[in-house]
Amino acid sequence: MNIKTTSGPIRENIWLNIIFFSGTTVAALIGCPFYLSRFGISSSEIFLFIFYLWATGISVTAGYHRLFSHVTYKAHPLVEFFFLFFGAAAFEMSALGWSSQHRDHHRYVDTENDPYNIKKGFFYAHIGWLIFWKHRSNLDNVRDLQKNSLVMHQDKHYLLWAVSSGILMPLVLGFLSGHLLGAFLFSICLRLTVVYHSTFAINSVCHMFGKATYDIYATAKDHWLVAFLTNGEGYHNFHHRFPGDYRNGVRWYQWDPSKWLIGFLSWFGLSRDLKRVSDFRILEARLAAEQQMARDSADKIFESTNVAENE
């Protein structure tokens, strides 16, 4: 977790973050199987867990990422509130801080100033950066978001938002349905563990494994399994090539519930100005990547033939 607002140094609460992060993980890994074997699980507990997993995950992907970080569409204040409320429940910083850091990731990708620099290894990009990354958040890159009073309220009172949405609300709902412990273990601890690792997989797995469909030299790759786990965010090669597009899974068969939700909301006027890169530019990028790949493998064959002939 990161309980700070963006006014102080980014690693201010590092030990508290580590204890919170490890505590919820250990409670989920040990507590959930124990609880299941002892008490089983009711339908209301399953519903609460699935709802929280979905609401928290989609608020990070369609909200923190595509709405606030990249401004790929505009949303009704009610939608903004939903994303800020459940996004805070992910304990991954305020939308303002998250967006600032994420914009740095795109701007400085694979360099010292990239918060989740994959060149420092899989572990660092996945989770190590939470412990070792020392840069201050430079809020110069989120001046546009600072004009949004809801975003600023969530940033200023982040702890209040995060605890209310991520801890108190599931506990109250669990208490009212007679399953307080179940709500704590599944809808808080297990849900947070799953959301953390699936979100972090975008920075680690998707910068190391998968297909380079649109830009063969980018470390960002398209990975269908991560896309499945993260509401469509795994098509990361496309996303780094076209970060201004509200879609990540751009082809009809690709799993991208964040895109579907944004599109669905637009039918009711709850989202608007959805930005799409033209089909022509996408096709052009794909063909250029395939051409480059063919050229590279032809070069390799040519080189190995030359070596064999000279021996």
Identify which of residues 220 and 262 has a Cβ nearer to Zn ion in the complex.
Answer: 220
Q: How far is the CB of 207 from Zn ion (least distance, A)?
A: 6
Q: How far is the CB of 225 from Zn ion (least distance, A)?
A: 16
Identify which of residues 191 and 221 has a Cβ nearer to Zn ion in the complex.
Answer: 221
Site map 168..207 versus Zn ion, x via CB under 5 A: ----------------------------------------
* Only segment of 35-43, 89-97, 188-196, 213-221 that touches Zn ion (CB under 5 A): 213-221
Q: How far is the CB of 73 from Zn ion (least distance, A)?
A: 14
Identify which of residues 84 and 220 has a Cβ nearer to Zn ion in the complex.
Answer: 220
Half-sphere CA count of 104, side-chain side, radius 13 A:
21
* Only segment of 74-82, 160-168, 217-225, 282-290 that touches Zn ion (CB under 5 A): 217-225
Q: How far is the CB of 206 from Zn ion (least distance, A)?
A: 7
* Only segment of 12-20, 41-49, 215-223, 284-292 that touches Zn ion (CB under 5 A): 215-223
| Torsion 237-81-19-197 (CA) sign | negative
SS3 151: helix
Identify which of residues 58 and 189 has a Cβ nearer to Zn ion in the complex.
Answer: 58
Q: Let me know if 270 is exposed, middle or buried by CB neighbors in 10 A (0-12, 13-18, 19+).
A: middle
Which backbone phi and psi does 75 adopt, to 5 degrees?
A: -130, 155
* Only segment of 17-25, 209-217, 219-227, 281-289 that touches Zn ion (CB under 5 A): 219-227
Identify which of residues 179 and 221 has a Cβ nearer to Zn ion in the complex.
Answer: 221
Q: How far is the CB of 150 from Zn ion (least distance, A)?
A: 21
Identify which of residues 137 and 165 has a Cβ nearer to Zn ion in the complex.
Answer: 137
Q: How far is the CB of 11 from Zn ion (least distance, A)?
A: 21
From CA 80, how far away is CA 74, in angstroms rounded?
9
Quickly list DSSP for 217-276: T-S--B-HHHHHHTTTTTBHHHHHH-TTSS-SS-STTS--HHHHHHHHHHHTTSEE----
Identify which of residues 62 and 220 has a Cβ nearer to Zn ion in the complex.
Answer: 220
From CA 273, how far away is CA 188, in angstroms rounded?
35
- Helix residue ranges, H only, 27-168: 32-39, 43-58, 77-88, 95-107, 122-123, 129-132, 149-156, 158-163
Which of these, 211, 216, 207, lies nearest to 293 by C-alpha position? 216
Q: How far is the CB of 96 from Zn ion (least distance, A)?
A: 15
Structure tokens at 127: 């989770």
* Only segment of 10-18, 53-61, 88-96, 218-226 that touches Zn ion (CB under 5 A): 218-226
- Total binding residues toward Zn ion, as defined by CB under 5 A: 1
From CA 76, how far away is CA 266, in angstroms rounded?
10
From CA 234, how far away is CA 122, in angstroms rounded?
16
Site for Zn ion in 220-279 (CB under 5 A): 220
Identify which of residues 88 and 220 has a Cβ nearer to Zn ion in the complex.
Answer: 220
Which backbone phi and psi does 231 adopt, to 5 degrees?
A: 55, 35
The residue type found at 260 is W
Q: How far is the CB of 114 from Zn ion (least distance, A)?
A: 8
Contact residues: Zn ion, CB under 5 A: 220
